[in-house]
Amino acid sequence: MATTRIMVVDDSPTDLAFIGAMLKRNGFDVILANGGEAAIKRATSQQPHVILMDLVMPGVNGFQATRIIAHAEATKHIPIIICTSKNQETDRIWGMRQGAKAYVSKPVVEGEILEKIDLLAGTRRVATTAAA
């Protein structure tokens, strides 16, 4: 079976490195995109299985990139998980309306993000953390 490709979209080099390393450690192939414009291009060209999308980015923000990716014919099948420090209910609702399939707040909890990826990508793994 092919390795599951996850694209991490963030303008923070620290968050890209942290989340990317966590995903690699858990057996995923990781694609990094520094911002919304790069995310749209890479989603089309590299067809990841799941996208982790930050919201607060210069230029094309995460809401805009999510809407574009979720509605484009070439990428609408790719589930998007918003992964952001914005933890207001209105942000979650707006993100889901743009086409996201899940929403998690930073700081990232490894077990939570892996569970959502597994659910959306159709992968199966042994739980590494206790259920909350």
CATH of the domain at 96: 3.40.50.2300
Q: What is the pLDDT of residues 55-66, one digit of tens each?
A: 999 999 999 999
- Total domains in the chain come to 1
Main-chain dihedrals φ then ψ at residue 84, nearest 5 degrees: -145, 160
pLDDT-based confidence at residue 75 (cuts at 50, 70, 90)? very high
CB 44 within 8 A of CB 71: no
Q: What is the pLDDT of residues 90-127, one digit of tens each?
A: 999 999 999 999 999 999 999 999 999 999 988 755 44
Asked, for residue 99, whether it belongs to a domain, the answer is: yes
Asked, for residue 71, whether it belongs to a domain, the answer is: yes
Around Cβ 95, how many Cβ atoms within 10 Å? 24
Asked, for residue 40, whether it belongs to a domain, the answer is: yes
User: 3-state SS string over 47-112?
Assistant: CCCEEEECCCCCCCCHHHHHHHHHHCCCCCCCCEEEEECCCCHHHHHHHHHHCCCEEEECCCCHHH
Contacts for 17 with CB less than 8 Å, ≥ 6 apart: none
Asked, for residue 129, whether it belongs to a domain, the answer is: no
Q: What is the pLDDT of residues 38-47, one digit of tens each?
A: 999 999 999 9
Q: Which domain holds residue 60?
A: 5-121
